[in-house]
Amino acid sequence: MSIAYVGLESFRQLKNARAMIFTLAVPLVMLVAFGGTFGGAGQVDAVTGLPWIVVTTIQVAGYGGMMAALSQAFNIVTERSIGWNRQLRITPLSGTGYLVSKMITAMLMGLVSILVIFGVSVLLYHSTLPPMRWMTAGLGLWFGILPFSLLGILIGQFAKPDFAQPLFMAVFMGMAVLGGLWIPLQIFPAWVANVAQAVPSYWLNRIGQMGAHQSGDILTPALVLLAWTIALGGFIIWRYRRDAARS
């Protein structure tokens, strides 16, 4: 039943036109705006050595993937408010199955966002990067949004319906800024970059750039993101069991 529910939930989310527009429109607007400004031919990022348009594409794809993963919070808040999660507890679907279904759906939504951003960048700006490097950058970003899928679930478990939107925006915008996905960290004081290394969005950006460059110590961002995933996963399981005991 868990496998069936995962399939149904994923299909329901992917055919939700409003959700797809929400998770794709903003990143696409950012890509067009930033790509047109910084994506001129021959412009190279001095830090990574990659073409500016490639760096911009990776940042925007990370932004869109993170948004898609975190947006699962709204679905969980809605289901909690109408008692759907309590109804599921009397079915054979396990609590783990329910949480895994949300995580998988978030990852699929994030994958769609990343692929669309990459595709539009190549078609619109003729972004020059070998296919293998696009693939490793995409895989890095997709792995990197895993903790954000869990963070979205955690927000959904805690937030009340009236408070979900501002909490989502505070977490999302904070992560986007500190991760350098919206504004380059180089324009901030040095201490901001030091603080940013404590949040997963910073390492999401880094692992995407390393995948595109196919160089650098990829083990560090992978371990940091994995640590965030394990910590958030443990907290989510504890919270779900606590809610189930109250019910």
The model's pLDDT over 13-71, given as tens digits with 9 standing for 90+, comes to: 666 667 677 778 888 888 888 776 655 556 777 767 788 888 889 999 999 999 989 88
Position 135 scores a pLDDT of 94
pLDDT at 8 over 80: no
Q: For residues 142 and 66, what is the distance between their CA atoms, to the nearest angstrom?
A: 9
For residue 193, give both structure tokens. 């970059």
Model's pTM, two decimal places?
Answer: 0.86
**Residue 41, pLDDT score:** 53
Which own/partner contact pairs does 90-97 have at CB distance under 8 Å and 24+ positions apart? 91/1, 92/1, 93/1, 93/2, 93/5, 94/2, 95/237, 95/240, 95/241, 95/244, 96/2, 96/237, 97/1, 97/2, 97/5, 97/6
User: What is the distance between the alpha carbons of residues 76 and 155, in angstroms, rounded to a whole number?
Assistant: 9
Q: Is the dihedral of CA 169, 171, 177, 180 positive or negative?
A: negative
pLDDT score of 169: 85
161 confidence band (pLDDT: 50, 70, 90) = confident
Per-residue confidence (pLDDT) for residue 92, from 0 to 100 = 65
Tell me the H-state helices in 39-145. 52-70, 72-81, 84-88, 95-125, 131-144
User: Which residues fall within 8 angstroms of residue 247, CB to CB, at 6 or more apart?
Assistant: 86, 89
Burial of 128 (0-12, 13-18, 19+ CB in 10 A): exposed
Question: Which segment of 107-111, 152-156, 183-187, 243-247 scores lowest on mean pLDDT?
Answer: 243-247
Distance from C-alpha of 85 to C-alpha of 45, rounded to nearest angstrom: 47
Mean pLDDT of the chain: 82
- Give the span between the Cα atoms of 102 and 19, in whole angstroms: 15
* Local confidence band at 87 (pLDDT 50, 70, 90 cut-offs): low
The pLDDT-based confidence of 164 (bands split at 50, 70, 90) is confident
Q: Which amino acid is at 16?
A: N
Q: Is 183 helix (H, G, I), strand (E, B) or coil?
A: coil
The backbone torsions φ and ψ at residue 51, rounded to the nearest 5 degrees and listed phi first, read -55, 145
Domain that holds residue 216: 2-246
Q: How much is the pLDDT for 17?
A: 66
Question: How many domains does the chain fold into?
Answer: 1
